[in-house]
Structure 1
Amino acid sequence: MKKFLFLLLFSPILFAQEGMFSKDPIINKENWNKQRVHWGYYLGFNSLDFKFDYLSVTQDIEVQSTTGFNVGLIGNLRLTEYLDFRFEPGLFITQRNLIYPNITDPVNRLREVKSTYIFFPFLLKYSALRTGNVRPYLVGGISTALNLGSNAEAPDDNYNNRFRMTKWSNFYEVGFGIDLYFEYFVFSPSIRGVFSMKDELIRDNNPASPWTGNVQEMKTRGFFVNFTFH
């Protein structure tokens, strides 16, 4: 996975090496960062899991992550030469499989948690000094997300094979990326970690439920890899 991420993030740099890292590169889109407002879009993938805290010592619930898909829009407001405010609404599709070690029945032992989030992130982007056609940056902030697959309003619970989560969640995000300036566009690969700030689990109606009874908190965590075009 580490090698895969390295290739995804840095292969554009390697392909553009001749033009970007030569001694006297041609400066592309020289005044692009002076815009007060600009727009863009992103595509990418995600890998999310859950962090569980328990009421009493027990075997951990096993979380199997899968690779999901991201797509969204970007609105960027220039605040200073090095600082920007960004709004990046997007659609994030993912799945996590939960395996309960204390349950022997194969059907009830597994819960497939399919989630479709609409994220509303409010972020600050701090950019380093531009060198030729390359400019690294850090990004961080908070977001709120609507989980369209939460089952929050369903009366059925795990006893009817229905896993329930809260409809709305809050997150904080931190990450880094690189702006690469080409002749006609700016390409920005980035990696971002995302961490939930609240418990997302809706308990089963039975307080002694083997799926939710011993869970103190369940929070989403994971990372996004985005490929942004401006």
Structure 2
Amino acid sequence: MLKASKFITLLLLVLGSSSAFAQNGTKNLRLYDQRPVHFGFYVGVNFYDFQLRMKEDISKVPDFFGVRTEVSPGYSIGIVSDLRLSHHLNLRFLPSFVNTERKLYFDMIDPYSGIRSEQERIIESSLVQAPFELKFKTERIHNHRWYVLAGFTYSFDLASKEKLEDDLIFKLNSSDLSYDFGIGMDIYFEYFKLSPQIKGFWGFQDLTIPDGTVPVSGLESTHTRGMLFCLTFE
């Protein structure tokens, strides 16, 4: 996850420099947090991966020897709808579009050549998401405040190939549900609020489709996991 660590470093630099820039001696957007409802948007970089659980004894699985994953960055965009519940708590709905790519490498016997090799399977996903989350905020300190997020996300993959009959495709269920946790900072400028944040998510629905192929035969379960680094403008 070297790429992810670079983005974490970049996001922290953005957060620190933006916070310093916002401290201009006056309190910006004084009544902003008193609004019952407000809107915005976010853009971000995501790193989707899989949490793969192999069969307990793969030595008993014919032609299957192991699997590894490779993560590539994708992008996420969404709309922010924020409802104020109390001084420290907000309910948020963020309809989003996510594009991402994941790669799996199966150590297996090729069913066509009969030779053991590492077989690549590429999963390209175009996800429509409906995240709901609670935002817990600290007290505002001049022009910034910290917050944490907790919620869940329903995802539907528009690019899913779950119904195709092709042994060279690693198929996944098109629907998924995950729980999410994040941390970030609200930074108040004169005319808008900027919020850099880091969020992790873990799917609790098994996406495996038992199609009888060698890659699937060695897996007990397939779950989504990943991270999102984004900037929210409100």
Q: CA 1:50/1:44 → structure 2, altered by over 3 Å: closer, same or farther? A: same
2:84 match: 78
Q: CA 1:14/1:27 → structure 2, altered by over 3 Å: closer, same or farther? A: same
Shift of 1:54: 1.8
Q: CA 1:106/1:177 → structure 2, altered by over 3 Å: closer, same or farther? A: farther
Q: Within the alignment, does 1:162 sit opposite 2:169 as a pair? A: yes
1:126 match: 136
| Equivalence map 1:1-230=2 (5 Å) | 1=3, 2-17=5-20, 19-20=22-23, 25-58=25-58, 59-103=65-109, 109-154=119-164, 156-157=165-166, 159=167, 161-204=168-211, 206=212, 209-230=213-234
Q: CA 1:214/1:27 → structure 2, altered by over 3 Å: closer, same or farther? A: same
Matching residue's letter, 1:195: W
Structure with the higher strand share, 1 or 2:
2
Q: Is the contact made by 1:19 and 1:26 (CA closer than 8 Å) also made in structure 2?
A: no
- CA deviations over 1:28-50 (Å, ceiling 9, x no partner): 00110000000000000100111
Residue aligned with 1:151, SS:
coil
TM-score (norm 2): 0.88
Alpha carbon RMSD of aligned pairs, Å?
Answer: 1.9
5+ residue gaps in structure 1?
Answer: none
d(CA) in 1 for partners of 2:137, 2:85: 12
Residue aligned with 1:29, SS:
coil
Shift of 1:18: 5.0
Shift of 1:225: 0.8
d(CA) in 2 for partners of 1:16, 1:223: 23
2:62 match: none
Percent of residue pairs bearing the same amino acid type = 29
TM-score (norm 1): 0.90
Q: CA 1:18/1:49 → structure 2, altered by over 3 Å: closer, same or farther? A: closer
Matching residue's letter, 1:70: S
d(CA) in 2 for partners of 1:15, 1:79: 27
Q: Is the contact made by 1:46 and 1:224 (CA closer than 8 Å) also made in structure 2?
A: yes
5+ residue gaps in structure 2?
Answer: 59-64
Matching residue's letter, 2:34: K
